[in-house]
Amino acid sequence: MLGESRGVPEDPAGRIVVVLDLGGVTDKAALMDRCARDLALPDWFGRNWDALADSMADPALWPEGAGERGLLVVVQGWRKYAETRPEEWQVAEEIFAEATDRGPGLFVTLGLGESSESLPDQPG
């Protein structure tokens, strides 16, 4: 199933929030590994563009309750990858947009670009 919210507050629209943190990602293989980890994709996830689009758009793989409430995937830490591999990043953005179009209730948004790993620890 697509990953749990990891302490991220739910969005005002009531959708379940999942963070895809791309901090440290510098190539497609690392992107696919991070997607598999952060989105909690099944072992059979093919680690290619088509498999990523299909997995993201499949409500059966979303966290419990997201099919009814909707799912917001927040992509963080993406700027370094976008700068390092602009062609791959363009494909990734297209995959996110396609998944949003195909998956009713799914919305993918880009965070400010910083990785949550680079933020100082927050209490609570």
CATH number where 43 lies: 3.30.370.10
> Could you tell me if residue 10 is inside a domain?
no
Residue-wise pLDDT for 22-50, tens only, equals: 999 999 999 999 999 999 999 999 999 99
User: Which amino acid, one-letter code, is at 45?
Assistant: F
Evaluate whether residue 29 is within a structural domain: yes
The domain total for the chain is 1
CB atoms within 10 A of CB 92: 23
Query: Which has more confidence, 102 or 60?
Result: 60
Residues 66-78 have pLDDT tens digits of 989 999 999 999 9
In a domain, 7, yes or no: no
pLDDT of 9:
54
The pLDDT tens digits for 82-110 are 999 999 999 999 999 988 888 679 999 99
Q: Report the run of H or E that residue 73 belongs to, with start and end.
A: strand 71-76
Quote the domain boundaries for residue 42. Answer: 16-110
Residue 124 lies in a domain: no
Residue 120 lies in a domain: no
Single out the residue of 64, 52, 60, 54 nearest to residue 18, CA to CA. Answer: 64
Q: Is residue 86 part of a domain?
A: yes
Helix (H) or strand (E) holding 24: none
